[in-house]
Amino acid sequence: AYGAWLIAQSLHLGLAALGGVLLASLCAVVVGRWLVAPLAIRLSPLGLFVATLAVLYIAQALAAMAFGEAALVLKSGPASVLRLGLVNITNVQLAFASATIVTLGGVSTWLHISYWGRFARAVADDRALAGLFGVPVQGAIFRCYAIGGALAGLAGAFFVADRSIDPSQALTVLLAAMVAAVLGGDSIHGAILGALVLAALETILGFYLPGNWRTTVAFSILLAVLIARTGGLSRVIRRRI
């Protein structure tokens, strides 16, 4: 998000979004190659998670030092609002939704049709077994880093175009993503469904509860899923089918 904001100070918003995507993808590959991958060999999943949280806090501190702790706005003033029936949506939000549908559809297609997508799924299921069958494990992992970073960069570019940003927002976004992933289960489609359910609940409850309670509801959902051990929405759907 900060990369897109910085580039947008001198270039068109579309070029800024592209630059933010490329910068985020590069950062994800660098961090994954020289930090996450070596630590993953030596640490347990819990230890690796704590290490990535440390990276997040360091990144927040660096962003605060470079850009300040005040909220930054890409474009001040009211946004163009489109009325779709009972729903009011800005042009940025409409573009964000459209880009999200196209991008997630492309990633899903890549995972199920392309060779590298199948390699990535095999590594996710069983890394050691995939390596025994000749799957290029490291190549698949680094491609996932690059694609994941690009998706994060795209989301950050639209986020900074739609609202203000400050360093403290990174942890909030990460926690929401974790809740959506746990709620969705063990598939990308389940994670998408979990994100939609979480966003809908937060939006609806936002009309009746203060802002802080929206986060409380999100973590209540996470706790309920962990206690029930249902495996998320994806496994519940498979059981019903």
Q: Highest mean pLDDT: which of 47-56, 173-182, 204-213?
A: 47-56
Whole-model pTM: value is: 0.80
Is residue 198 a contact partner of residue 183, using CB atoms and an 8 Å limit? yes
Residue 230 in this model has a pLDDT that exceeds 80: no
- Each residue's pLDDT tens digit, 87-138: 778 777 888 888 888 988 888 888 888 888 889 888 888 888 888 888 888 8
What percent of the chain has pLDDT above 70? 87
Residue 29 in this model has a pLDDT that exceeds 70: yes
- Each residue's pLDDT tens digit, 149-199: 898 888 888 888 777 788 877 777 777 777 777 777 767 777 788 788 777
pLDDT at residue number 93: 80
Residue 82 in this model has a pLDDT that exceeds 60: yes
DSSP of 185-205, one letter per residue?
-SSHHHHHHHHHHHHHHHHHH
pLDDT at residue number 236: 46
Residue 239 in this model has a pLDDT that exceeds 60: no
- Output the average pLDDT for the chain: 79
pLDDT at residue number 240: 44
Is residue 3 a contact partner of residue 24, using CB atoms and an 8 Å limit? yes
Distance of CA 70 to the CA centre of its chain: 23
- Tokens standing for 217? 């509801």
pLDDT at residue number 241: 43
Where is pLDDT greater, at 213 or 58?
A: 58
Type of residue at 157: A
**8-state DSSP, 133:** T
